Structure 1
Amino acid sequence: MRKEHDFLGELEVADELYYGVQTIRALENFHITGKHIDPDFIKSLAMVKKAAAMANMKTGRLNVSIGKAIVDAADDVIAGKLADQFPVDPIQGGAGTSLNMNMNEVLANRGLEIMGHPKGSYDIINPNNHVNMAQSTNDAFPTAIKVCAIIKSKPLIDSLQRLVDELEKKADEYSTILKMGRTHLQDAVPITLGQEMGAYASGIRRGIKRIKSAMEGAHVINMGATAVGTGLNAEPSYIHDVAYELSEVVGEPFYTAENLIDATNNTDIFADISSGMKVTALVLIKMANDFRFMASGPRCGIGELKLPPRQPGSSIMPGKVNPVIAEVLNQVCYQVCGNDLTITLAVENGQFELNVMEPVLAYNLFNNMCYLKNGVNTFVDRLLVDLEVDRDQCAYWLNRSVGIVTALLPHLGYEVCSDLAKEAYNENRAIRDIILERGLLTEAEMNHILSPEEMTKPGIAGQDVLKNSGN
């Protein structure tokens, strides 16, 4: 055991531990989620500490031998080593001070070990004086959130792009499958299944654009702001150097905020990112619900789509298969929407020069990025790739619907079409049969007007044929 102290007093720390007294106090105080800090967030904070040490060495304020030991220790953490040395709960009071000090203590003790000194020799490398030099939790913690969000956004965007690509493949594959379009859950006018798939792809592309646009704000950081944004205890040159060094460490461009006080007390950028994911989740919910409706039945519902069977659907009904993959995407998106509310409340609840609610904000932001990525990948891999279509069922509903009468309006007029629709409903007959029976159109004219090419694009269906026939 070794003894460590802070201004609250002295505690014993097991010698094998790299963290110290302030981490132990956090462990005593916060038993909230039972979860560990996201590994990418730990890696991101270590990147911030590495960049700060490099910038402080550049200004000449940090001794080079100490600085290099801190950098080497940070590299160990970035590589995934010492992962078990970050036990603090993700949701914690103190605006993230618990995690910041956890990192400071681990880097100090690992740096001491690298230099050949015993852990706890804080007169040589001190968690506050050296590792936290020219920093505060109030600039290091939100900067690490931004770094982590950038890291996590890449696989999320990749998953959404996979979904777009697969939907576009389906759009081409189903481009000639004519089916009944529906509004208000009622028959409307014909559309191709390919057009529906293309529309889903278009909505997801918009989501990707929305998230990418929001992520631009994550590249603006407040490093050097220290406690309240005034830059107290930070060299002026450090403020610019640390943004450059962080860019080198992460491989992404980072820029110092024009107003460091604003960047320290406002966290609206995280609301932008969360909102981009939430709105994308809303588009995904609508798409997943459409798939569930079109696959309903399969014999006593719409039954136009055949979802790949992934597991038995009931503990009591033999042969039942449920749309579990579409259902899980729905639930993922509901969770994303709920977490967005938590993030919204955390963003609005800053006071004066700091938002102290960043830990819960970060926890939910990173969870949303993970959940949404996993949900989308599951939908693509377990449903969309092996999706099948019941072409006969699509044709059956189309031929039974009176919605196709809308395409005849320019040729027969509203009154005649209304009468046709009424008779079709009352006698449960097909519109085609009634028109041919009355001699209103020839079969050739009918087939042309009601062809997929004519009914699913702008213009008056069958106009050329009717002109040529004299009608």
Structure 2
Amino acid sequence: MDAMPVTFSQEMSAWSAQIQDAIEQYEQSMTKIQQLAIGGTAVGTGINADPHLSEKCCKHMNNLTGMEFKPANNSFQAISSQDAALILSSSNKTLAVALTKISNDLRWMNSGPLGGLGEITLPALQPGSSIMPGKVNPVIPESVCMVAGKVIGNDLTITHAAQSGNFQLNVMLPLVAHSLSESLSLLSNACLSLADKAIKDFEVNQDNIESMLSRNPILATALNATIGYETGAQIVKKAYQEKRSIIEVATEMTDLDSKTLAELLDPVKLTRNQ
């Protein structure tokens, strides 16, 4: 069902906030993934290893990578569990879910041109349908949704692998590493594609949006405080049945002049609770 209007900047601010939350979750997961079990040797006791091996290795790796690796707080736990990998995988899933939401919003807004919303036009990246001439599919949002499905599946795979440790041994580390690496690579490419080939250059269909707004009965919500709910509902019903604009019908059914109605029903003001 239709609800109150929002601006494109408001909609995109929601996308931005979702991505920022995902970034913050990644940053938190890094504090765990950078704790290494190295130096714990076979079972966490550090048998046959230099007592300072873990510190020396972490320092050397930090110099090479610019990362902040450090010895795990508990080498027995670090060897026997894959909690850090699981936390990172959860961050992947969070981002995948956010990208799916954004992609689906884009697909809905791009739907049409006549049988859908038609609020935006995404860049055409392919000739079109092999069956229907001129039909252009939202291939980037669609591909991002497929990536998200794969990442969510990989998260379940990593969950299964992480719970398969027995005492101080987990033989499924190759599966964890492969799934994490694949998900990170897929998400990285998906983010770039969605930003550069979909969001960056989509066009807003201003005329279509204004036409839909002017005829949308939901605008009468703004009149509740002035004319009351019941009268507003009657205006909505009449406008919808007769396929006329709210302002036109409200002019006939209330004592408000067209200028006052135009101010009350201004969609921009409705997005600011004015």
2:216 to 391, 401, 404: 401
Cα distance in 2, alignment partners of residues 291 and 258 from structure 1: 45
Cα distance in 1, alignment partners of residues 191 and 240 from structure 2: 41
Q: TM-score, normalised by structure 1?
A: 0.56
CA contact under 8 A between 1:271 and 1:347: conserved in structure 2?
yes
Query: Which structure's CA Rg is the greater one?
Result: 1
- Give the structure, 1 or 2, with the largest relative contact order (CA under 8 Å, sep 6 or more): 2
Partner of 1:259: 74
Q: TM-score, normalised by structure 2?
A: 0.95
CA contact under 8 A between 1:312 and 1:322: conserved in structure 2?
no
CA contact under 8 A between 2:220 and 2:265: conserved in structure 1?
no
CA contact under 8 A between 1:343 and 1:361: conserved in structure 2?
yes
Deviation at 1:441, TM superposition (A): 1.7
Deviation at 1:242, TM superposition (A): 2.3
Report the AA paired with residue 152 of structure 2.
C
| Percent sequence identity over aligned pairs | 39
1:426 to 224, 241, 252: 241
Query: Is residue 183 of structure 2 the alignment partner of residue 372 of structure 1?
Result: no
- Structure 2: give runs of 5+ residues left out of the alignment: none
Partner of 2:123: 308
Query: Is residue 113 of structure 2 the alignment partner of residue 298 of structure 1?
Result: yes
1:337-366 Cα offsets, whole Å, 9 max, x none, are 111111111111111112221101100100
Query: Is residue 269 of structure 2 the alignment partner of residue 454 of structure 1?
Result: yes
Query: Is the partner of 2:6 in helix, strand or coil?
Result: strand
Query: Is residue 145 of structure 2 the alignment partner of residue 330 of structure 1?
Result: yes
Report the AA paired with residue 438 of structure 1.
M
Cα distance in 1, alignment partners of residues 140 and 55 from structure 2: 48
CA contact under 8 A between 1:247 and 1:253: conserved in structure 2?
yes
Deviation at 1:227, TM superposition (A): 0.5
Query: Is the partner of 1:236 in helix, strand or coil?
Result: coil
Residues 303 and 453 from structure 1, CA distance in 2 versus in 1: closer, same or farther, beyond 3 angstroms?
closer
1:101-153 Cα offsets, whole Å, 9 max, x none, are xxxxxxxxxxxxxxxxxxxxxxxxxxxxxxxxxxxxxxxxxxxxxxxxxxxxx
Cα distance in 1, alignment partners of residues 52 and 116 from structure 2: 68
State how 1:174-323 maps to structure 2 within 5 Å. Answer: 186-323=1-138
Query: Is the partner of 1:409 in helix, strand or coil?
Result: helix
Query: Is the partner of 1:188 in helix, strand or coil?
Result: coil
Cα distance in 2, alignment partners of residues 253 and 376 from structure 1: 25
Report the AA paired with residue 205 of structure 2.
D
Query: Is the partner of 2:3 in helix, strand or coil?
Result: strand
Query: Is residue 261 of structure 2 the alignment partner of residue 442 of structure 1?
Result: no
Query: Is the partner of 2:231 in helix, strand or coil?
Result: helix
Deviation at 1:376, TM superposition (A): 1.3
Query: Is the partner of 1:362 in helix, strand or coil?
Result: helix
Report the AA paired with residue 233 of structure 1.
N
Cα distance in 2, alignment partners of residues 378 and 370 from structure 1: 12
Cα distance in 2, alignment partners of residues 310 and 247 from structure 1: 42
- Aligned CA RMSD, in angstroms, stands at 1.4
Partner of 1:355: 170
